[in-house]
Amino acid sequence: MIKCLITQPNSDKVTSYLFHFGKEILKEIYPIKIQFMNLEGEKVNKNNVESYLKKQDPKIVLFNGHGDDWTICGYKDKDLIMMNENEDLLKEKIVYSLSCSSAAKLGQSAVLKGTKAFIGYSDSFMIYTDSEREATPLKDSIAASFLKSSNKLSISLLNGKSANESSEKSKEEFQKETKKYLTGRLFEGSERIAMALLWNMDNQVVLGDPEAKIE
């Protein structure tokens, strides 16, 4: 059995979207038995995350939330993982961080301290939403273009694909969604959405061992 820690802070509009789309990952059927350790809402705090990483030793960690070059955040943007403080807790793990810019410096430091693979974004993760669908995120087709592309990566990892293969599948999805907004039924803002999808695709990076995977 493979243990997977997933954080879903759900404390503002953006993390609410990540929360609802992240739930879709849990519904998939995987060829390998996965034990999900799902931290939600205010439970996404530094003490809980550190405790799970130390005592449960998950092989895959899926972070959802805000962040920057040095930090991955949890509930109400409180620090979870910080460069030069506790990134060593990610040693021997495969990490996907859906958190702005966290691959720029934190991810690199984590790999130097033993993280098998750190997949994330070297700059901001951009997302557009439909203002009329914000109360029901899963019905928001615009947001789905961004977050289903991201989910493709997590699902691929949990299906036993390598870090690099999983990233490539996600990028293929970003590219496919981009074409929809450039060649389909155009509307005001279509081009901005397409450019944001390409931005995310270009800034998604795999650090560490590109062949790392669960076994």
Per the structure block, which two tokens stand in for 134? 């914000």
Section 147-151 average pLDDT: 98
**Strand 94-98 to 60-64 pairing:** parallel
Instruction: Output the pLDDT for position 187.
Output: 73
Instruction: Output the pLDDT for position 189.
Output: 84
Quick one: which of 22, 27, 57, 55 has its CA closest to 39? 22
Alpha carbon of residue 50 to chain centroid: 18
pTM, full prediction: 0.96
Does residue 203 lie within any of the structural domains?
A: yes
Domain of residue 11 covers 2-208
Does residue 214 lie within any of the structural domains?
A: no
* Residue 93 confidence (pLDDT) above 70: yes
Give me the CATH number covering residue 165.
3.40.50.1460
Please say whether the beta carbons of 203 and 122 come within 8 A.
yes
Does residue 98 lie within any of the structural domains?
A: yes
Tens digits of residue pLDDT in 62-86: 999 999 999 999 999 999 999 999 9
Does residue 139 lie within any of the structural domains?
A: yes
What value does the mean pLDDT of the chain take? 96
Lowest mean pLDDT among 25-39, 51-65, 178-192: 178-192
Please say whether the beta carbons of 17 and 8 come within 8 A.
no
Tens digits of residue pLDDT in 102-145: 999 999 999 999 999 999 999 999 999 999 999 999 999 999 99
Q: CB under 8 Å to 132, separation ≥6 — which residues?
A: none
CB atoms within 10 A of CB 80: 26
Instruction: Output the pLDDT for position 185.
Output: 67
* Residue 186 confidence (pLDDT) above 90: no
Tens digits of residue pLDDT in 28-41: 999 999 999 999 99
State the pLDDT confidence band at 184, using cuts at 50, 70 and 90.
low
Q: Measured between alpha carbons, how far is 147 from 137 in angstroms, rounded to an integer?
A: 10
* Residue 146 confidence (pLDDT) above 70: yes
Number of domains in the chain: 1
Please say whether the beta carbons of 44 and 74 come within 8 A.
yes
Does residue 215 lie within any of the structural domains?
A: no
Q: Where are the beta strands (DSSP E) in the chain?
A: 2-8, 34-40, 60-64, 67-68, 71-73, 79-82, 94-98, 117-121, 204-208
Does residue 56 lie within any of the structural domains?
A: yes
